[in-house]
Structure 1
């Protein structure tokens, strides 16, 4: 089969760094290659380190992003880095939803127990008044 001939849709392959770039999962192809080389990408459960690794439709790609891992299934290879709507057609997002937070944990960091932390101005004046020696208040 010559290199210029079209491959059947089921056999279409593409380099992982190009695919990550076309799918808009990385901002540039060089950043995609660096994330593959650093071990942040796995294909079908196998950690890969070569940006030239070929992916094809049906492969499951796990990519470690800054704050979470993204699990996607390759639907088709990309032809260009187009707009988001076009890039979204290259994969289906299979990332599990984040675990639900409990309501009370959302507000626990914003509040504090009474008496914890620095005293208010009023509490400080009361403390100073209690610690004053007798006869000091007389002016």
Structure 2
């Protein structure tokens, strides 16, 4: 399956984000763009804006913040291996995401018993104590 296009072609931003697997659906990509979570060369853009090779994108997705350079174009969604070849993440972005993942792993978690229904008085006290000490 050939999903990349000629170098002189242009692709809509929402299609490219979907093909590069930053978002599961084009609708989610469109919502993120319209919500200001995607910047193209430092500017807020609309979903129909065309992407060219060499453009820099800043993407705030649910699974992290990415700063990537567009390396190849595609308007069809393919395998993940192909999607990874469409962009090159900046070293600063990769380092920032690694630090965020490490901080998340070290963050304290509230372990509550496997209880169904309303929390007990003891469980509520533990929750309030956790919230006060970790905020």
TM-score for both structures, normalised by structure 2:
0.64
Trace 1:69-88 onto structure 2 (pairs within 5 A). 69-88=65-84
Task: Report the CA distance between 1:34 and its aligned residue.
Answer: 0.7
Where is the helix percentage greater, Structure 1 or Structure 2?
Answer: 2
Are 1:42 and 2:26 counterparts? no
Corresponding residue to 1:92 among 81, 88, 94: 88
Aligned residue in 1 for 2:23: 26
Residue ranges of structure 1 left out of the alignment (5+ in a row): 1-6, 111-117, 119-139
Q: Which runs of 5+ in 2 are unaligned?
A: 110-125, 127-135
Q: Secondary structure at the match of 1:81?
A: coil
Pick from 8, 11, 17: which aligns with 1:14? 11
Residue 66 (structure 1) aligned with residue 75 (structure 2): no
TM-score, normalised with respect to structure 1: 0.62
Deviating beyond 2 angstroms after TM superposition, the runs of 4 or more aligned structure 1 residues are: 98-102
Higher relative contact order (CA 8 A, sep 6+): 2
C-alpha distance in 2 between matches for 1:78 and 1:18:
8
The separation in 2 between residues aligned to 1:81 and 1:40, in whole angstroms, is 21
| CA distance in 2 between partners of 1:67 and 1:21 (Å) | 14
- Let me know the Cα RMSD of the aligned residues: 2.8
Contact 1:12–1:57 (CA under 8 A) maintained in structure 2: no
- 1:65 CA displacement: 1.6
